[in-house]
Structure 1
Amino acid sequence: MAGTESTGRAVPPPPEAALHLGGADLWRPVARGGGWATAAALLLLLASHLSVLLLRRRRLPRPGAVSAARDSLAVAATATAASTSSAPGSATGIECLVTEDDLRELVGNLGVAAREPEGEGWQQVIAKGNDDVSYRVWCDKPMEGPPRYLSVTTYERCSTELLRDFYMDNEYRMEWDNTVIKHEQLQCDENSGTEIGRTIKKFPLLTPREYILAWRVWEGNDKSFHCLVKECEHPLAPKQRRFVRVQLLRSGWCIRKIPGRDACEITVLHHEDNGMNIEMAKLAFAKGIWNYICKMNSALRRYPQRRISSISIMTMQRLIKKFPEALETDVDANHQPQGNTGATVVPSHFARTSSRQQPVKKSSPATIASGLLLIGSIVCLSRGRSNLGAQLAMAFFLKKAFKQEKGSSSQRSRIRTDVTESRHLE
């Protein structure tokens, strides 16, 4: 026969013949005792695979919990819409969007971060200046989401009132800032001084971004000014498909005069998630921010000659509130040299959460399940005389094991990369 030699010894079929074997031939053992060992190895692999599936299922939320969470979110959204749509000046309206507690948090974090940013773990990005303006900015990269930025800009021959009006003049911004397409005021609260506005900004090669923001401005006894801006929703600004609604923006600043000089400075804490790729946004900021500051300075110098009355400034000057006396002590302490400070840092959205302070934890059950898969795969590999069916099953489970291990390794690699980038940000 073609399948035997003259000595009578069986000749193995060519490789392509294995594709035509029946089910019984595929799983037939080739040596005494080989079937039991292969079956035991396959059972071990199957048990480990089932354990992985059970672990994943246990992590998924129950359908009842999901529906309950969805219902609670719907109730909260309805309540928010009802609150924001109330008449200006009402106690249940927009006056609760930006509170004095938010101001207290801003004062504490601005003071500690701005005195010595490097000591607080911020990484310097840029330090440039000329005869009219100097600019320094630091970055903090959290574990997730976009980075936070802290900047200190000093303007020579400029008063605090002029700089305040320039920053808050949204109509004038549309003249010199070509990224701002449109701005409109939606609502204001006379009692608290809170305003809500809608701004559309364009981004190169991307869909325009839509900002629905609430803000308040406070004036100190020394002609210093504080402002806090945060994202919100409003019934007069429903979402539109042609814009990307920005879901996260927290920005706060303090404008104060520099003692003994004809100059003032503005210190800004800014955190924004506009949907851009994080690495692309960091690169665009580092390469383009100084040119933007120079353009802003040129617009500031032209601002005193502007003869048009701005609706934004008239509204802001009418709604501005006095700085709370209880916080004056904290502000004074923030301007003292390091070592004599008395400001209290309140945990807030602006507080740093550096990736170096959060250790990476790996799930113990996931480690055990991955180990079981690897052990079972090694058992199958050690049986060199296993038949084709066992080898195919082994290949499947081995692929699953290495896939899980590769996912964990890539996650650890991404975390290490983020830490390295935060230390060597350019």
Structure 2
Amino acid sequence: MSVLADMLAEVFREPTLAGVARELATLAAPLWLAALVGLLIGWAWRPRWAAAVAGHQQPVLAAAAAAQAPAQPSLTQATAADHLAVVPRAKAASSVAPVEEELAVSTPDLMHLRRVVEEKDGGPAWTHMMDRTLPTFRYQAWKREPQNGPPQYRSSTIFEDASPDVVRDFFWDDDFRISNTWDDMLLEHETLEECAKTGTMVVRWVRKFPFFCSDREYVIGRRIWASGKTYYCVTKSVPRPSVPRSSKPRRVDLYYSSWCIRPVESRNGDGAMTACEVLLFHHEDMGIPWSIAKLGVQQGMWGCVKRIEPGLRAYQTARAAGVPISKCAAMAHANTKFVADELTASENNTEAGSTSNNAQAEKPKHWTGNLPKVFVIGSVVALACTFDKGLLTKALVFGTARRFAGPGRR
């Protein structure tokens, strides 16, 4: 910095204002020249986004986006069934039927849930939290904490003497949740949209929170897929700007709670598949610090779980007595059938294609592709050596140049 101070002192010793201006211009000339060269080089090798701003690459970007769109698996359901009307409850049916991807919950959500069930989603490892056993059911729970996002929870509940069909309806039946109070946090629910052919729904929930928090509002899309007697039930938050926000209850924008419901062997040891396993995957951002939310889940988890089993048994009794099912439970019957092997093959093909594309993208680039970095780094280094001899400033400038070059150059 002493060299810079000496140079500035020399400039201001000029007897006239014109002389000071001339010396400052001479001192700044290398900086202006470097900036001009950088602009020319940057425009000559302008990135795709700069060309898109100029309006020259819009077709290219559209084609690239189409090429990167994930391939949809082939389901056994007829193609015509994928073009389905989503009907707001308070309005008449729309004359234009949206395609599968326009539904609130679509096939990629099924594929993601299957990967999570099979522990092939690429997330962190699960840490065991709890293992409790009662005469009529067993409960196990795990958790994991991604780097970016709230803690995630996974649980396995095995109910003895329960069929997957009844368990599926039980979890989908919002009316019974409130009337039986097994889920005592649910205060109100409302169906906003429904698709009678796929069973896709958009519902609004208001859930009760402790006295020191305001209640929470959820806008949730949900849908069920069936492969034999195994059901994949997806529920997740969906954006609906048409639903007005309010300060109370507070809207929860990140919510994911999905189940895999399947028959399993009873622990009686007779080999009969009379038990039912529910694999639950859950995470949400409730708007409170994640550390506090995590503590609350750990303290209250078992108390909430114990309420589920009596609620299920009451539901089984009501169904056996012929009590009519609610509209919500009836929508659980309108699920989408698929063949697991076909979906797995489609996923494998998609992953293979993605791997091939990535391998092709990672081929070494021609040295001319690094010319912009070479010129910029060279200019920065030249300025560092000419402009200042101080070690601290040089370290800063060289560090900036290395960061621009990227981690692969270190």
Q: Same fold (TM over 0.5)?
A: yes
Matched AA of 1:126: H
* Distance in structure 1 (CA, Å) of the matches to 2:145 and 2:149: 9
Among 269, 290, 300, the alignment partner of 2:308 is: 300
User: What count of residue pairs does the alignment treat as equivalent?
Assistant: 340
Q: Is 1:378 aligned to 2:385, yes or no?
A: yes
Matched AA of 1:168: W
CA contact (8 A) 1:158 1:264 kept: yes
Once the two structures are superposed, the pairs formed by residues 401-416 of structure 1 within 5 Å of their partners are: 401=397
* Distance in structure 1 (CA, Å) of the matches to 2:370 and 2:257: 36
Q: Which residue of 2 aligns with 1:155?
A: 158
CA contact (8 A) 1:88 1:187 kept: no
Once the two structures are superposed, the pairs formed by residues 108-123 of structure 1 within 5 Å of their partners are: 108-115=111-118, 122-123=124-125
Q: Which residue of 2 aligns with 1:7?
A: none
CA shift, 1:151, in A, is 2.3
The alignment partner of 1:130 has SS state of: strand
Among 327, 347, 350, the alignment partner of 1:315 is: 327
Q: Which residue of 2 aligns with 1:417?
A: none
Among 128, 131, 135, the alignment partner of 1:129 is: 131
CA shift, 1:268, in A, is 3.9
CA contact (8 A) 1:108 1:330 kept: no
* Distance in structure 2 (CA, Å) of the matches to 1:206 and 1:25: 70
Please give the TM-score of this superposition, normalised by the length of structure 1. 0.55
Give per-residue Cα distances to partners, 1:163-209, cap 9 Å, x unaligned: 43443243565656576554322232333322221124577887765
CA contact (8 A) 2:191 2:204 kept: yes
* Distance in structure 2 (CA, Å) of the matches to 1:276 and 1:203: 12
Higher relative contact order at CA 8 Å, sep ≥6: structure 1 or structure 2? 1
Unaligned runs of 5+ in 1: 1-14, 30-34, 69-81, 332-340, 352-357, 385-393, 413-426
Please give the TM-score of this superposition, normalised by the length of structure 2. 0.57
CA contact (8 A) 1:194 1:214 kept: yes
* Distance in structure 2 (CA, Å) of the matches to 1:347 and 1:152: 29
Q: Is 1:266 aligned to 2:252, yes or no?
A: no
Say if 1:276 and 1:330 are closer, same or farther in 2 by CA, change over 3 A: farther
Give per-residue Cα distances to partners, 1:137-160, cap 9 Å, x unaligned: 464848xx6379472412343623
Q: Is 1:44 aligned to 2:30, yes or no?
A: yes
The alignment partner of 2:133 has SS state of: coil
Say if 1:369 and 1:242 are closer, same or farther in 2 by CA, change over 3 A: farther
* Distance in structure 1 (CA, Å) of the matches to 2:214 and 2:127: 27
User: What's the C-alpha RMSD, in Å, of the aligned pairs?
Assistant: 5.9
Say if 1:43 and 1:254 are closer, same or farther in 2 by CA, change over 3 A: same
Matched AA of 1:314: S
* Distance in structure 1 (CA, Å) of the matches to 2:346 and 2:216: 36
Give per-residue Cα distances to partners, 1:371-393, cap 9 Å, x unaligned: 53343133222399xxxxxxxxx
CA shift, 1:232, in A, is 3.7
CA shift, 1:301, in A, is 2.6
Q: State the identity %.
A: 18
Among 376, 381, 388, the alignment partner of 1:369 is: 376
CA contact (8 A) 2:225 2:337 kept: no
CA shift, 1:256, in A, is 1.0
* Distance in structure 2 (CA, Å) of the matches to 1:209 and 1:313: 27
Say if 1:363 and 1:258 are closer, same or farther in 2 by CA, change over 3 A: farther
* Distance in structure 2 (CA, Å) of the matches to 1:378 and 1:207: 60
Q: Is 1:214 aligned to 2:221, yes or no?
A: yes
The alignment partner of 2:106 has SS state of: helix
Give per-residue Cα distances to partners, 1:260-308, cap 9 Å, x unaligned: 3364322345576x4859xx53x45654444443133122133134799
CA contact (8 A) 1:152 1:265 kept: no
Higher alpha-carbon deviation: 156-165 or 189-198? 156-165
Q: Which residue of 2 aligns with 1:334?
A: none
Say if 1:106 and 1:198 are closer, same or farther in 2 by CA, change over 3 A: closer
Q: Which residue of 2 aligns with 1:391?
A: none
Matched AA of 2:386: V
Once the two structures are superposed, the pairs formed by residues 309-348 of structure 1 within 5 Å of their partners are: 314-321=326-333, 326-327=338-339, 329=341, 344-345=347-348
Give per-residue Cα distances to partners, 1:37-64, cap 9 Å, x unaligned: x977643333334566785997668778
Say if 1:295 and 1:301 are closer, same or farther in 2 by CA, change over 3 A: same
CA contact (8 A) 1:52 1:369 kept: yes
* Distance in structure 2 (CA, Å) of the matches to 1:239 and 1:363: 49
